[in-house]
Amino acid sequence: MAVEAFLSRLEKVKGRNGSWTACCPAHDDKSPSLAIREEGGKVLLHCFGGCEVSAVVGALGMDMTDLFPPSEPKYEPQPKVRFFATDLLKVIALEAAIVSIAAYDMSKGKTLPKVDLDRLHLAYERINAAVEAAQ
């Protein structure tokens, strides 16, 4: 949560440039006794009246995690799906047969209709995907 959103919940806020004072919401505070500072995206608090930080945050209806910037999601590599070599060879054999038929027809001067060209392209993609899966 940005420090501005935190400050907007407090009373008698004074200060600027990363350092403020305000009335502490965790106790009956008539004059500002809560020091607020922003450092590296974190909101740092200190109540000179002795209140715990968790009590101050709770009195605002917030959570301790609201004082810290959101963390970057950790990269977790996806587990590689393993295939049996025989399954990959079956896919490649089927798609190679389609490529062979199309090549034979084109060698005889036949112009392939769009539906056959689309299927030829799909065969190409599936062969490449099978090779990638084998690596």
Same domain for 99 and 61? no
**Final residue of a structural domain among 22, 41, 67:** 67
Cβ contacts of 96 within 8 Å, gap of 6 or more: 123, 127
**In sequence order, which residues have a C-beta less than 8 Å from that of residue 123 and are 6 or more positions away?**
95, 96, 98, 99, 102
Residue 76 lies inside a defined structural domain of this protein: no
Residues 7 and 59 in one domain: yes
91 & 125 share domain: yes
Please, are residues 47 and 33 in contact by the beta-carbon 8 Å criterion? yes
SS3 42: strand
Model pLDDT for residues 67-117, shown as the tens digit of each residue: 887 777 777 887 777 778 888 899 999 999 999 999 999 999 999 999 999
Range of the domain at 116: 85-134
Which positions ≥6 away from 54 have C-beta within 8 Å? Answer: 64
DSSP structural state of residue 79: P
Q: Are residues 57 and 17 in the same domain?
A: yes
Whether 80 maps to a domain, the answer reads: no
pLDDT tens per residue across span 18-72: 788 999 988 888 888 899 888 877 888 899 989 998 888 888 888 888 788 777 7
pTM of the model: 0.49
21/60 same-domain check = yes
Per-residue pLDDT tens over the stretch 70-80: 777 777 887 77
> Of 41, 67, 93, at which residue does a domain stop?
67
Q: Is residue 123 part of a domain?
A: yes
**Same domain membership, residue 98 and residue 55:** no
| Structural domains of the chain, count | 2
